[in-house]
């Protein structure tokens, strides 16, 4: 029996979201498979075009009012209000009424955001009790039993990445044709390409591989995609990019792979073919999930640059090599240094990530990591640690009663969820802002072409200090310079607010 199926990317409630990370690629793959099997499909992306509305703080997060203030100004500002990003539930119900689907599939990737999804599902089932509702995604795959306990009226939970499992879960006919990840790619006519922008140009996610054989204790990839590393044929990827380029005027592609460069021979072949296929050099490539530095030799980095990569996202996790080994991280600092130095010589802008507040990370190790990363010309991006469900680390922390495995709302970086004996929340927030100060200092050097910065240099750029500045009529740079002067003089971080 052929069906009308509505696929929903639901709203998110949090202090912030990163808009360019919201492309609904998973739903596009699923929708394409359903169309190929004769079903009528619509995708409702509740997050694009993006709307936001301030909503009350959840009681769970009331402790954050000590740190977050929406009136804060300057380059060191933290988060402020709590928002609902996306359509209201009433708007979603109206869209459902318009389409009258037989089945609704809802993406449920993030454990922290399940509360609002649960509320939406309850409303849908109350108004449309005869409509089947299924969910899938990472959170749904990890917490199948617990979700059914919360939502016994739910019709199906799809575990794992296999799109065709959706058909069996909703009682549809068996697939008319095989839908293999390596041979097919999504139909982007299912979304409005103009809604997704980067650098004012049409933007898309693309996935070239699935799975990862590595064994990092904090990584969630294998829980969803397994340890078998699968690559798509280069020709198939090029065909997808060509179609996106010509039919949807897409010029910015972000490879959302978890280990894009693992197979060096295949990756080089892909880069070479991209370079040949797009000779106008009018595309921009990213790998925002990060490129493993194990494979980033000079040949690969040069080919990445020629293909259209100008930014490099890499992850150190921690500068303590012994800590990396304990986490199952497959490289040491020497490889990081070699990769960064090569990237700088080629011309890449580099963003380097590390995890702030790892369990058992001491304050000394944290300082060591920050100072180590400062020694390179990179943008430092701290990822505040939160318990990653489905991982070895999550299991160990739960077993040791160091986290509450049932407190799903806390599994997000924005709430500084985990305090340890070494790093209190006060310290985590301090170092988070300190890194912002260091990044601002780096930005000043770049903007004003400075080799180093001291108080005399800052005085030439702006004479204002934390005592003389009026934040209401000062620029963000002037506020930041005043804060940097204060830090260089006293070691204190001063925050400013517009009252």
**Alpha-carbon gap, residue 245 to 255, rounded angstroms:** 15
**Alpha-carbon gap, residue 87 to 120, rounded angstroms:** 11
DSSP states along 354-418: EEET-TT--HHHHHHHHHHHHTSS-EEEEEE----TTSHHHHHHHHTTSS-TT-GGG-SGGG---
CA distances from 190 to 30, 36, 100, 348 (A): 11, 13, 17, 34
CA distances from 361 to 317, 356, 385, 424 (A): 11, 9, 11, 11
Residue 388: the pLDDT is 86
Token duo for residue 62: 């009331």
Backbone angles phi, psi at 157, to 5 degrees: -125, 125
Given the structure tokens 């985590």, which residue do they identify?
428
Relative to beta strand 72-73, strand 40-45 is unpaired
* 332 close to 309: Cβ distance less than 8 angstroms: no
CATH superfamily for 4-51+86-169 is Cobalamin-binding domain (3.40.50.280)
CA atoms within 13 Å, Cβ hemisphere of 24: 31
* 204 close to 250: Cβ distance less than 8 angstroms: yes
Cis bond before residue 252 (omega within 30° of 0): no
Given the structure tokens 């969820």, which residue do they identify?
417
| Predicted TM-score of the model (pTM) | 0.94
Token duo for residue 255: 């490879």
DSSP state of 42: E
Residue 324: the pLDDT is 63
Q: Where in the chain is the domain with CATH 3.20.20.70?
A: 188-448
Query: What are 12's strand-pairing partners?
Result: 85
**Alpha-carbon gap, residue 175 to 33, rounded angstroms:** 9
Task: Report how many helices (DSSP H) and strands (DSSP E) the chain contains, helices first.
Answer: 17, 19
Per-residue pLDDT of the chain (499 residues; tens, 9 = 90+): 789 999 999 999 999 999 899 999 999 999 999 999 999 999 999 999 999 999 999 999 999 999 999 999 999 999 999 999 999 999 999 999 999 999 999 999 999 999 999 999 999 999 999 999 999 998 998 999 999 999 999 999 998 878 888 998 888 887 766 677 788 899 999 999 999 999 999 999 999 998 877 766 666 666 666 667 889 999 999 999 999 999 999 999 999 998 899 899 999 999 999 999 999 999 999 999 888 888 899 999 999 999 999 999 998 888 776 666 666 665 678 889 999 999 999 999 999 999 999 988 999 999 999 999 999 989 999 999 998 888 888 888 899 888 899 999 999 999 999 999 999 999 999 999 999 999 999 999 999 999 999 999 999 999 999 999 999 999 999 999 999 999 999 999 999 998 7
**Alpha-carbon gap, residue 69 to 337, rounded angstroms:** 38
DSSP state of 58: P
* 246 close to 268: Cβ distance less than 8 angstroms: no
**CATH assignment, 188-448:** 3.20.20.70
Query: What are 54's strand-pairing partners?
Result: 83
Residue 369: the pLDDT is 93
**Alpha-carbon gap, residue 236 to 233, rounded angstroms:** 5
DSSP states along 184-197: ----GGGS-GGG-E
Token duo for residue 218: 């904090």
* Chain center to CA of 454: 35
Q: Where in the chain is the domain with CATH 3.40.50.280?
A: 4-51+86-169
Residue 224: the pLDDT is 63
Query: What are 117's strand-pairing partners?
Result: none
**Alpha-carbon gap, residue 412 to 101, rounded angstroms:** 33
């Amino acid at each position: 029996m052929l069906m009308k199926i509505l696929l929903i990317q639901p709203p998110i409630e949090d202090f912030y979201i990163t808009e360019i990370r919201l492309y609904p690629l998973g739903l596009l793959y699923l929708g394409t498979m359903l169309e190929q099997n004769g079903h009528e499909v619509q995708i409702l992306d509740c997050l694009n075009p993006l709307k936001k509305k301030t909503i009350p703080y959840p009681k769970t997060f009331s402790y954050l009012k000590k740190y977050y203030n929406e009136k804060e100004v300057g380059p060191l500002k933290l988060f402020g209000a709590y928002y609902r990003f996306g359509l209201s539930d009433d708007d979603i119900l109206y869209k459902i009424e318009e389409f009258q689907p037989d089945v609704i599939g809802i993406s449920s990737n993030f454990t922290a955001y399940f509360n609002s999804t649960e509320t939406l599902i309850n409303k849908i089932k109350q108004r449309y009790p005869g409509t089947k509702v299924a969910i899938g995604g990472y959170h749904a795959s990890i917490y199948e039993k617990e979700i059914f306990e919360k939502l016994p009226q739910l019709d199906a939970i799809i575990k794992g990445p296999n799109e065709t499992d959706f058909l069996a879960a909703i009682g549809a006919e068996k697939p008319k044709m095989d839908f293999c990840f390596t041979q097919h790619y999504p139909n982007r006519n299912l979304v409005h390409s103009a809604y997704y922008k980067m650098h004012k140009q049409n933007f898309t996610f693309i996935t070239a591989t699935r799975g990862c054989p590595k064994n990092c204790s904090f990584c969630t990839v294998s829980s969803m995609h397994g340890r078998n590393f699968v690559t798509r044929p280069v020709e198939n990827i090029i065909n997808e990019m060509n179609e996106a380029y010509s039919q949807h005027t897409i010029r910015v592609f972000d490879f959302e792979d978890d280990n894009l460069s693992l197979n060096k021979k295949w990756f080089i072949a892909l880069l070479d073919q991209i370079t040949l296929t797009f000779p106008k050099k009018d595309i921009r490539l990213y790998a925002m999930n990060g490129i493993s530095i194990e494979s980033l030799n000079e040949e690969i980095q040069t080919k990445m640059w020629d293909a259209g990569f100008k930014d490099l996202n890499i992850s150190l996790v921690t500068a303590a090599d012994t800590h990396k080994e304990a986490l199952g991280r497959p490289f040491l600092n020497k490889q990081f240094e070699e990769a960064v130095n090569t990237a700088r010589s080629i011309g890449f802008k580099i963003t380097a990530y590390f995890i702030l507040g790892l369990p058992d990370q001491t304050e000394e190790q944290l300082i060591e990591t920050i100072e180590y990363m400062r020694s390179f010309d990179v943008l430092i991006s701290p990822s505040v640690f939160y318990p990653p469900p489905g991982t070895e680390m999550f299991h160990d922390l739960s077993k040791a009663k160091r986290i509450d495995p049932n407190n799903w709302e806390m599994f997000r970086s924005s709430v500084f969820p985990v305090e340890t004996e070494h790093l209190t929340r006060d310290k985590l927030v301090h170092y988070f802002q300190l890194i912002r100060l260091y990044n601002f200092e780096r930005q000043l050097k770049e903007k004003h072409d400075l080799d180093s910065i001291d108080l005399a240099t800052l005085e030439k750029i702006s004479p204002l200090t934390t005592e003389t500045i009026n934040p209401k009529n000062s620029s963000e740079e002037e506020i930041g310079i005043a804060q940097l002067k204060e830090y260089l003089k006293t070691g204190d971080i001063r925050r400013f607010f517009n009252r």
